[in-house]
Amino acid sequence: MAKLDARLDLHFAALGDPTRRAILSRLARGPASVSELAAPHDMALPSFMGHLKKLEDAGLITTVKEGRVRHCQLAPDAFAPVQDWLGEQRALWNGRLDRFDDYVANLMKDRNR
Amino acid sequence: MAKLDARLDLHFAALGDPTRRAILSRLARGPASVSELAAPHDMALPSFMGHLKKLEDAGLITTVKEGRVRHCQLAPDAFAPVQDWLGEQRALWNGRLDRFDDYVANLMKDRNR
DNA sequence: TGTTTAGTTAGGCACATGGCTAAGCTTGAT
DNA sequence: ATCAAGCTTAGCCATGTGCCTAACTAAACA
């Protein structure tokens, strides 16, 4: 669980920045080089690379260097951990509702006695 | 778009911390007071309150003070913005957006420059 | 009325984050 | 052999984050 936690930390932290979400949206349309990705963002290249590094550290994208160009693409199943966590929360919430139903059911039973 | 962006920033940033995710998991089981929530976390109360504040600022939880006790609960549809964003990404990935949507997205990108 | 309980406010410290410039290093083109 | 393109490294700065302690306020209780 602790390992998963650390991964989720990186995932959510990476997603908590509009520049990085924009990069992901761009990559969802297809792979691109660093400078292609950087072009629409009014930011010095080293700053931009910092964002790419966080996305890669989080496992959201993968990059390969070919010659002097680095190609980037979305990682397969990039959002699976986030989806899974949301699913868990949903399950907890539903469990709560189930218990609430039980509670109400019991109340009714008691009342009818 | 800019407003949604800011909201997503807060959401994801709030989720990017294990303490705060634990709070949400606890609240998914039902409402609780501040000290009930804080009990399992080995942390000074002011530090813990900082986490609660971020969750509330992000709109993930709501709190009400009754007497000297502050009651906390999950906000209704707390995760909707995150779910929506993930849905969008999925749609992009699946290439489900038609040309008009693409056209609008590009327009907006240009406008924001 | 005095004490305990439950938060809150104030302030401080260490480290992370997000931005910059300047300089360096491969690779591809001329 | 030289120059340009495409990163990459190094180092700096301002601000934000996450934690702490100490002192405070406002209920609830005895």
pLDDT string in tens for chain B (113-residue length): 566 788 999 999 999 999 999 999 999 999 999 999 999 999 999 999 999 999 999 999 999 999 999 999 999 999 999 999 999 999 998 874 554 455 555 555 554 43
The mean pLDDT of chain A is: 88
Question: For position B5, what pLDDT does the model report?
Answer: 84
User: Which nucleotides of chain C have an atom under 7 angstroms from any protein CB?
Assistant: 5-11, 17-22, 26-28
**Residue range A62-77, pLDDT digits in tens:** 999 999 999 999 999 9
The residues facing A63 across adjacent strands are: A72
**Exposed/middle/buried for residue A2 (C-beta within 10 Å: 0-12, 13-18, 19+):** exposed
Q: Which residues of B touch A83 (CB under 8 A)?
A: 86
Range 13-72, chain A: CB under 7 Å to any strand D atom? 33-36, 45-46, 49, 65, 68-70
- Does nucleic acid strand C have an atom less than 7 angstroms from the CB of A44? yes
* Closest to B70 measured CA to CA, from B60, B82, B80, B62: B62
* Closest to B7 measured CA to CA, from A4, A66, A15: A15
The residue with tokens 């294990």 is B18
Question: For position A36, what pLDDT does the model report?
Answer: 98
**Residue range A26-64, pLDDT digits in tens:** 999 999 999 999 999 999 999 999 999 999 999 999 999
- Does nucleic acid strand C have an atom less than 7 angstroms from the CB of B32? no
User: For residue B100, which amino acid is it?
Assistant: F
Whether residues B92 and A28 touch (CB distance < 8 A) is answered with: yes
**Distance between CA atoms of residues B70 and B38, nearest Å:** 12
Mutation to test the A interface, candidates B19, B20, B21, most A Cβ within 10 Å = B21
The residue with tokens 């992000």 is B58
Which member of B12, B28, B85 has the closest CB to residue A89? B28
**Distance between CA atoms of residues A90 and A11, nearest Å:** 19
Question: What domains are defined for chain B?
Answer: 2-74 (1.10.10.10), 80-111 (no CATH)
What's the CA–C1' distance between B71 and C4, in Å?
20
B95: left (phi over 0), alpha (psi -120 to 50) or beta: left
Q: Token pair for residue A96?
A: 């709560």
Whether residues A95 and B9 touch (CB distance < 8 A) is answered with: no
Question: Looking at residue B75, what DSSP letter applies?
Answer: P
Q: Which residues of B touch A90 (CB under 8 A)?
A: 79
Question: What is the helix (H) or strand (E) element at residue A97, kind and residue range?
Answer: helix A80-111
Looking at CA atoms only, how far is residue B85 from chain A in angstroms?
10
**Distance between CA atoms of residues B85 and B15, nearest Å:** 14
Phi, psi angle pair for B98, to nearest 5°: -85, 180
Residue A89 to residues A85, A93, A96, B49, Cα–Cα distance (Å): 6, 6, 11, 22
**Distance between CA atoms of residues B29 and B9, nearest Å:** 26
Share of chain A above pLDDT 90, in %: 75
Q: Which residues contact A83 (CB under 8 A, 6 or more apart)?
A: B86
